[in-house]
Chain A
Amino acid sequence: MNRLLVVDDEEEVLVTLERRLTREGYQVDVAATEEEAKRLIWEAEPAYDVVITDMLMEGPTTGLEILRETLARDVFSEVIVLTAYANVVNAVECMRRGAFDYVEKNMPGVDTFELLSLKVAQAVDRRQSSVATVRRLNRLARLAEAEGSQRGSTRVP
């Protein structure tokens, strides 16, 4: 089961997101403060597959902080940033620093919950394919190493 962390300072946002994503079959943890989120990120074993965080909580840099901690814990975890009101500059900055995507909480006429569950699924896919790619690369590297050592051994007199 894929593990998600949802970070937001509004309880009703946490409740609704947790309910919706649990319905999708994820194992969902929630955090209402930056501090709690950081603690959970480092305690989670294995690391969260996807972290969904609000952009702005205690301070204007909360979203960026959570993004940084998540990637520091596991570089293949994916982060989706939520913004309560469109702040393209901040969102772009998050993307530049490695966020998977950003979702505006209030887009007229858009069912954000459907959109978000789609994004989460995509993020999970990307993480899995990234992890799979790395595994494959590792295997190749190991094979290459093994081959090299064999070849090398023949050369050794």
Chain B
Amino acid sequence: MSRLRLGRSRICMSEPLERAGLLPATTDEPEEPSVSLNGELSDQVAAVALRLSETLLRQILEESVAAAGAKRAALLFIHHLRRELTVVLAAGEEWTPEALSSRIPILPVERQSITAYVAATGQPYRTGDVSRDHRYRMIFEDVVSELALPVVDSHGRVVGVLDVDSPRRDAFGEQEQAILMPFAEKAATVWDLAMHQARERALLAISRDLSALTDPKDIMRKAVDIGAHILRADDCSLFLLEPDGKTLSFLASHRPPQPGGPAPTYQLGEGLTGWVAEHREPVRTGDPRRDPRWRGVVSEFPPEEIEAYLGVPVLGRDGCLGVLRVVRRRWPSVDFRNRFSPHEQGILVTLASHLGVALDNARLVERLMITERMAAWGDMSARAAHMLGNTVFALKGHLNELEYVTAVEGAHADSARDLLGQLRSGITRLEEILQEFKEFVMTSRLTPSEHALDPLLEALMKEVFPRGTKVTLKIVPNAPGAYVQVDVNKLRRCLNELAENAVHVQPEGGSVTVSTSIASADEAAALGLASRSQGWARIDVTDEGPGIAREHRGKMFTPFFTTRSQGMGLGLSIVKGIIDSHGGLITEIGAPGHGAHFVIALPISRMGEPPPAQHPLAEEG
């Protein structure tokens, strides 16, 4: 794909419509920064920047070819982590896929090729006869002259190389070099702007992503990955302040941390990182060993290999939460400026502030969840006490009566038997309450097997639908061939609960409709389901009762929520637990006042021939 698109840049040379802006350079511009334009360029932010600037950069290349009278032009960017130059765009003739995917390593000076030399030194390079030039590495057989200019960003760092060639001897002189210089500068400005825009987009996406996460561990992992990517750093690490407010502990890093041993720690004020936490100010430096605050307590790489260090405080509502830091490695034997710029410091500060807010949020959410869980347990003990208490109370009443009846001379065996029956049913009720508890706890333990959905659903519904009611049951199977992996007993329990609820809300009679279907992509998306190749089966259960009040919709699936005075209020939470355990989803979408409408989505395990008509539960025994 990358080659295809790069290839198109060659075609567009003879396509003036596109240059005139009449044709879009890229017709399908994806918004996500994770889309890589060039497979060779792993840096996601750079990929976005390249997409943003592709049209303009290509134009610059085409103009360079024309202005310098060259045969070809190429724009190469430095891939910092791989330490090589990559062709990102090309113009002119005879570009082959191989040429377009050229990767040029940046080696020590004496062994550098022309473009690598320009990238490493920031100096232009010109040759009029490549056969006499030891730096020349052949890509095209017809090249005789080559001119390479550094593309330098606004912070004075070389980001790439503009390279032109010609089959003529001494094709490029002082004049051509002077003519092309503004093109290289223009490319640098375009690239700067595009990078700026891409980083801004990435920061926006980050703030969105971070605020969507609730697990602090996920947030921290995400933040260090982003930090490394967006700042082209060799590593990004996060240290958090312990509750004692004195110790900074290592929490996460982009590269896998050294295995074994206790987590490395800093004391507040110790080393560069400790200083950042203590003073709540960033530190940006080149070789950290030259900084008097440096102690080398924790290092991502051997200290002599670290080229640049940037650490910023992570601030939360109640002060400093920790330190986010990035480092770049030195390029061996290459004198190459690779320090962090003030702009990059600003980016890391922004990332750290997003991180601070996200961590604060996560801590609040956690506290809230604990409170809610406590409240749920409170609700549960109240309900359990109520239910069990009343049942036991009635049992005691029966015993009291039994005592009375048997104490009387010539006791009636009939009334004693009657009381025994009532005692027995009271104990059964106690057991039912305990059963409900057990089911609630056991919802996630499944013994699934594969079934064709339609016949299974029909059989289960007929089995569980309450008898002797004025409510009629309609079954509309419409998912032929869809097979699902389900625990039949658990699914039976779900359908039973939904059927009983539906019958309960229609005491004067009505109907319950249960239908199956295969969810379309739009339906799946509307339900918030992840897209999967096998798709989703849906089961719709509708009734003609009063529907679910809007204020109940949010909590109807939570444990111990019930609008009835009897029962534990565990029914729907058990149903949700079971469906969730199947990797499915249950939701209620009915309009209040127009009957309840439950939707269950289950992942389809495979599509196949509908099985021959037989009782689908026959093998279940």
Contact = CB atoms under 8 A, between A and B. Distances in A.
Interface in B147-177: none
Interface in A83-103: 84-85
B509 interface: no
A84 B397 contact: no
B394 A9 contact: no
A85 B389 CA distance: 7
Contact of B392 (A15, A57, A106, A113): A106
Contacts of A106: 389, 392-393
Contacts of A10: 390-391, 394, 566
A13 B565 contact: no
A126 interface: no
Interface string A1-38: 00000001110110111011001000000000000000
Contact of A19 (B385, B392, B401, B429): B401
A9 B426 contact: no
A20 B405 CA distance: 11
Contacts of B426: 12
B489 interface: no
B389 A16 contact: no
Interface in A42-83: 56-58
A127 interface: no
A112 interface: yes
A9 B566 contact: yes
A58 B386 CA distance: 12
B472 interface: no
A5 to B, nearest CB: 18
A20 B398 CA distance: 9
B363 interface: no
B382 A12 contact: no
Count class of interface residues, chain A: 20 to 34
Chain B CB count within 10 A is highest, among A16, A106, A113, for: A16
Chain A CB count within 10 A is highest, among B385, B394, B404, for: B394
Nearest to A110: B396
B385 A84 contact: yes
A113 B389 contact: no
Interface in B382-431: 382, 385-386, 389-394, 396-398, 400-401, 404, 426, 429
B411 to A, nearest CB: 14
B400 A85 contact: no
A114 B400 CA distance: 8
A114 B399 CA distance: 12
Nearest to B398: A16
A85 B400 CA distance: 20
B393 A16 contact: yes
Contact of B394 (A15, A23, A114): A15
Given A10-B566, A12-B426, A57-B565, A113 B390 contact: no
Chain B CB count within 10 A is highest, among A8, A19, A23, A58, for: A19
B8 to A, nearest CB: 71
A119 interface: no
B417 to A, nearest CB: 16
Nearest to B565: A9
A12 to B, nearest CB: 4
Given A9-B566, A23-B404, 8 more contacts: A10-B566, A12-B429, A15-B397, A16-B393, A23-B401, A84-B393, A85-B386, A111-B400
21 contacts: A10-B391, A10-B394, A13-B393, A15-B397, A16-B393, A16-B400, A17-B397, A20-B397, A56-B386, A58-B565, A84-B390, A85-B386, A85-B389, A105-B390, A105-B392, A105-B393, A106-B389, A112-B396, A113-B396, A113-B397, A114-B400
The 8 closest A-B pairs by CB, nearest first: A16-B397, A12-B394, A85-B385, A84-B389, A10-B390, A113-B400, A105-B393, A106-B389
Interface of B: 382, 385-386, 389-394, 396-398, 400-401, 404, 426, 429, 565-566
